[in-house]
Structure 1
Amino acid sequence: MKVSLALLTTLCASLATAGVVITPVRQNQVIPANSGDCFFGVTTPQGCA
């Protein structure tokens, strides 16, 4: 049990430091896209999601 918890914690930490953290995008965060913006996904003030 302790080993699996340690592995899960390590995995989460490595994903967070790599910037691979999935955060939900709510409707009030989406802005209109310009032509060619965000081929996949939606445009937010911080970039593509």
Structure 2
Amino acid sequence: MSQKVILACQHCQSRNYATSKTDQDRAERLQIKKYCKICGKHTPHFETK
């Protein structure tokens, strides 16, 4: 079963992306480097609660 999560930019805190997470990944918070439209560059995006 997968769970839908929202990703927020580390620098500007804008919530830009939505993705899914599997049962195996649920132990820790997801972190992906993505492009932020607000910052205008690639930044780390973290899973929000």
Calculate the TM-score normalised by the size of structure 1: 0.24
Larger Rg: 1
Higher strand share: 2
Tell me which of the two structures has the higher relative contact order, counting C-alpha pairs closer than 8 angstroms and 6 or more residues apart.
2
Higher helix share: 1
Calculate the TM-score normalised by the size of structure 2: 0.24
